Chains A and B, each alone.
Chain A
């Protein structure tokens, strides 16, 4: 069976510090990978998606970047965090064929202080 791991679960970082959130998927190969952010009153906003190693598509301009160094690893980064980067970040994966449905990790609550 497929599982998705996302860490850390919570993170408190000062403004201007770097960020690295990691996500790995097990039990499947060549998944589509996604980073979403849930902000209060705004639902789930797609930030990045990737259809393969080194292939990143950005949905919204922002202070964040994503990388996919391995097939089942997806990393969300920032060089300098802003207060507005606070939120609940979710990693997800989906199959590349058939109906598209996303399977989510447990999420990371990021608080920038």
Chain B
């Protein structure tokens, strides 16, 4: 049973355009959501997060939107740059428990020149 779903294994976007990565979740107890970026052969790095009390969080070119009623969140990157090419993981936690984060399978974002 996958509680965090990233249904697009890959996404190709032209440089300068907006990249939109989507994530759906099923566990209504999730109250904190994070996005991680991962290059090949490296550990994931934290990108941006959002608490369930908010519906939007912005950090530079990155914005995360949360729609609690739809159990859906998205990451917007604008404008997209070549260095954004990576695998992006959506993650969620419930109540800050010690058992860590639940991750999606990831979306491979490819920025085309």
Interface centre among B43, B93, B101 (most CB of A within 10 A): B43
9 cross-chain pairs, A with B, having the tightest CB-CB distances, nearest first: A104-B43, A43-B105, A44-B103, A100-B93, A100-B96, A51-B98, A107-B43, A43-B103, A32-B98
Contact assessment for A46 and B99 in the assembled complex, using a CB-CB cutoff below 8 Å: yes
B residues 58-112 in Cβ contact with A at 8 Å: 89, 91, 93, 96-106
Enumerate chain B interface residues (CB-CB to A < 8 A). Answer: 6, 9, 32, 34, 36, 41-46, 49, 51, 89, 91, 93, 96-106
Contact assessment for A46 and B49 in the assembled complex, using a CB-CB cutoff below 8 Å: no
Enumerate chain A interface residues (CB-CB to B < 8 A). Answer: 6, 9, 32, 34, 36, 41-46, 49, 51, 57, 59, 88, 90, 92, 94, 96, 98-107, 109
Chain B residue nearest to A59 in the complex (CB) = B99
CB of B45 to closest CB in A, whole Å? 7
Q: Within the assembled complex, what's the spacing in Å between the Cα atoms of A107 and B36?
A: 15
Contact assessment for B49 and A94 in the assembled complex, using a CB-CB cutoff below 8 Å: no
Q: Which of chain A's residues have a CB closer than 8 A to the CB of B45?
A: 104
Interface centre among B44, B46, B89, B104 (most CB of A within 10 A): B44
